[in-house]
């Protein structure tokens, strides 16, 4: 006789999520992506348990090294005994709507760490660098009790301003030699950035790029950021060993400083 599987109510599903059921978390994220008819009720049940995670958004053009940088950020946060969730929004397959790049490929070194939850999701043609379900997925990750949630956007560059609406701390990743400093000035992406990372800062023209960015920040004013002054952090994140990596600890310290600024001013949205 075949056992009949009990149909779970939204209350049951949320209870399992809050209890740390990773399979339920994955199931709820899939429901959010597919816009299940139950997802609205589920999100209402999760909402009271949100607001405690640090939500960090990373945006920048393709080839700037976002995924590599995230790998080292995970290492640094884990060394500080923080649990980490990573939501990587990928280009969608035109046939299935699914993500073309898998989380296990880019973040394989962390796939066996119980303190790290990885998820890729397709943009499904949604502009702005994020998926339509991104906000719900972040809330689900908050319901898991994760200390830090890193959100990586598409990598398309100039349209990636939606991250400002879902992340507390927005990081713009630039690299020298790709015209990123000029493009950032034109596109206004710098207006949403709380922190600017100049990755691959060991390249020959990094100093020139750094000076251009500093001059741009000096001339620009951002009404949205009140008295927080965006800063530029040079990093080198392409190595395989920690001894080859530079600027990651400084970046994490800057993230924590911005989070403290938000808490002190009660500017964190939940």
CATH code, 206: 3.40.50.300
Does a structural domain hold residue 270?
no
**Nearest alpha-carbon partner for 152 in 33, 56, 10, 224:** 56
Contact yes or no for 10/17 (Cβ under 8 A): no
Number of structural domains (the chain) is 1
The tens digit of pLDDT for each residue in 62-103 reads 777 888 899 999 999 999 999 999 998 865 443 344 444 544
Is pLDDT of 23 > 80?
yes
Which residues contact residue 252 at a Cβ distance below 8 angstroms, ignoring those fewer than 6 apart?
Answer: 73, 76, 77, 80
In this structure, the chain runs to a length of 270
pLDDT of the residue at 121: 80
State percent of the chain over pLDDT 70. 73
Residue 127 lies in a domain: yes
- The H or E element containing residue 106 is helix 103-106
| Digit-coded pLDDT (tens) for 125-174 | 454 445 668 899 999 999 999 999 999 886 554 446 778 888 999 999 88
Say if 3 falls within a structural domain. Answer: no
pLDDT number for residue 154: 66
What is the domain extent for residue 156?
50-264
DSSP letter assigned to residue 129 = S
The structure tokens listed for 2 are 């075949």
Looking at residue 97, its pLDDT comes to 43
Tokens of 60: 């920048």
The answer to whether residue 76 is domain-embedded is yes
Question: What's the distance, CA 30 to chain centroid?
Answer: 18
The three-point CA angle 140-143-146 to 5° equals 100
Angstrom distance (rounded) from CA 45 to CA 10: 8
Does residue 14 sit within a domain?
Answer: no
Residue 27 lies in a domain: no
Distances (CA, A) of 173 to 2, 27, 152, 213: 54, 31, 11, 12
> Please, what is the Cα angle at 161 between 155 and 162, to 5 degrees?
100
176 found inside a domain: yes
Q: Is residue 43 part of a domain?
A: no
- Minimum mean pLDDT among 112-126, 218-232, 250-264: which range? 218-232
């Amino acid at each position: 006789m075949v056992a009949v599987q009990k149909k779970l109510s939204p209350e049951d599903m949320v209870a399992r999520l809050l209890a740390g059921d990773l399979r339920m978390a994955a199931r709820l994220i899939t429901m959010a992506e597919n816009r299940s008819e139950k997802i609205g009720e589920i999100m209402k049940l999760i909402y009271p348990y949100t607001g405690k995670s640090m939500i960090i958004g990373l945006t920048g053009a393709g080839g700037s090294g976002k995924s590599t940088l995230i790998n080292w950020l995970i290492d640094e946060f884990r060394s500080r005994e923080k649990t980490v969730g990573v939501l990587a929004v990928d280009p969608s397959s035109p046939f299935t709507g699914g993500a073309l790049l898998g989380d296990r490929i880019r973040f394989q070194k962390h796939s066996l760490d119980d303190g790290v939850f990885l998820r890729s999701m397709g943009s499904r043609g949604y502009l702005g660098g994020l998926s339509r379900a991104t906000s719900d997925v972040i809330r689900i990750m908050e319901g898991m009790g994760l200390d830090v949630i890193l959100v990586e956007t598409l990598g398309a560059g100039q349209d990636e301003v939606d991250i400002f609406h879902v992340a507390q701390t927005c990081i713009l990743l630039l690299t020298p030699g790709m015209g990123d400093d000029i493009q950032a000035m034109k596109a206004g992406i710098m207006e949403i950035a709380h922190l600017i990372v100049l990755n691959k800062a060991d390249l020959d023209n990094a100093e020139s790029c750094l000076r251009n960015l500093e001059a741009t920040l000096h001339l620009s004013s951002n009404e949205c950021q009140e008295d927080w002054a965006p800063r530029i952090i040079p990093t080198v994140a392409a190595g395989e060993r920690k001894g080859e990596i530079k600027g990651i600890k400084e970046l994490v310290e800057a993230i924590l400083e911005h989070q403290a600024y938000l808490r002190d001013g009660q500017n964190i949205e939940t």
